[in-house]
Amino acid sequence: MAVLETTARDQRAAGEATRRRKNARRTTNPYSPAHRGDAKLAWVLIAPALVGFAVFAAYPTLRGIYLSFTDFAVLSPPEWIGLDNYRQLLHDEVFWSSLGVTVYFVLLSVTLSLIVSVVTAAVLHRLTSSTVVRGLIILPFLISAVVAGTVWWWMLDSQLGIVNIVIKAFGGDGIQFLTSRDWAIPSVALINVWKQMGYTSIIIFAGLQTIPPTIYEAGRVDGASELRMFRTLTLPLLRPILALVVVLNVIGAFQVFDIISVTTKGGPANASNVLQMYIYSKAFGQFDFGYAAAMSLALFVILIAITFLQMRLLRASESDTN
């Protein structure tokens, strides 16, 4: 009798479980009557974003690609010239000079920014948890690049700038920070590092918080110093975050324009004439929009290639915890 009751109870339980599975399948089925209007609602909700993407991203990109194969000077309709703009680009000495200046700026800016950001994030992680300090560090990133460039332009002025006043007060000679061929790009790179450092420091700081404290405890048990743990534990575990920071900084540095435009305007003698400045001068100074579009597309291809190479070399999706 007990066996029969147990069997009946098991059958009822199995039947109840089957009904629950059917009800769950019916509830989650997107084609069920209960979800028949969800697809329309979803399209209504994402329509503004799709329209914005199509109008402000997709169409300008496709239009720019088309214009790169044309001779377009605004007042006349575009005239198809095929690859002539790209042939001109290959033999344009100013383009290659601007590309070299841009690479020099990128190397300085990204290297200094990465070093300063890692050190700052490590200090924040070990010494303080104050949100006020973090807010002060990220404050320069929130300032407009034009405002930051203008302030630093005043501060680095060769005659009245506070930096040169301090240098002369200590017996040094004034430095032509923004009007010297040797100092123009390093000075602008330092301004860019000052502006971007807070943002990248906070990203690295967030990555440091994901590292389990037990790893450092094990390192201390083994007698490792703080410097050795930082070099052998922290940096390898931060590889995905550092890869992200490097990629973002490289892309941002290649696209620098506003700080250069405010501080040096590409001078002196094209010493700081980065690629974005040259593209701007061709498009809005000489109204050669077709050639400017070709250079923009070339820069886009360069950035894609560099980003792909960085992701492969840095193994961005891996860390030593995998």
What is the DSSP-derived secondary structure letter of residue 180? Answer: S
Q: At what angle do helices 131-142 and 184-209 cross, to 10 degrees?
A: 140
Residue owning tokens 């390192």: 219
Q: Residue 122: helix, strand or coil by DSSP?
A: helix
Query: Which pLDDT score is estimated for 322?
Result: 52
Residue 21: pLDDT band (50, 70, 90) is low
Mean pLDDT of 279-304: 92
Asked whether the predicted pLDDT for residue 188 surpasses 60, the reply is yes
Query: Which pLDDT score is estimated for 262?
Result: 92
304-322 residues labelled b (16+ CB within 10 A) or e (exposed): eebbeebeeebebeebeee
Query: Which pLDDT score is estimated for 31?
Result: 55
> How distant, in Å, are the alpha carbons of 73, 100, 246, 277 from that of 285?
11, 22, 33, 10
Asked whether the predicted pLDDT for residue 316 surpasses 80, the reply is no
- Please say whether the beta carbons of 83 and 91 come within 8 A: no
* CA nearest neighbour of 251 among 191, 300, 314: 300
Q: Does domain 89-313 have CATH number 1.10.1740.10?
A: no
Task: Tell me the domain boundaries of the chain.
Answer: 89-313
Look at 184 and 226; give whichever has higher pLDDT: 184
Tokens of 167: 């240098």
Q: How far apart are CA 39 and CA 44, in angstroms?
A: 9
Query: Which pLDDT score is estimated for 235?
Result: 85
Q: How far apart are CA 95 and CA 17, in angstroms?
A: 71
Asked whether the predicted pLDDT for residue 84 surpasses 90, the reply is yes
pLDDT digits (tens, 9 = 90+) for 139-164: 888 888 999 999 999 999 888 889 98
Residue 81: pLDDT band (50, 70, 90) is very high
Model's pTM, two decimal places?
Answer: 0.81
pLDDT digits (tens, 9 = 90+) for 119-133: 888 888 877 767 777
Residue 1: pLDDT band (50, 70, 90) is very low
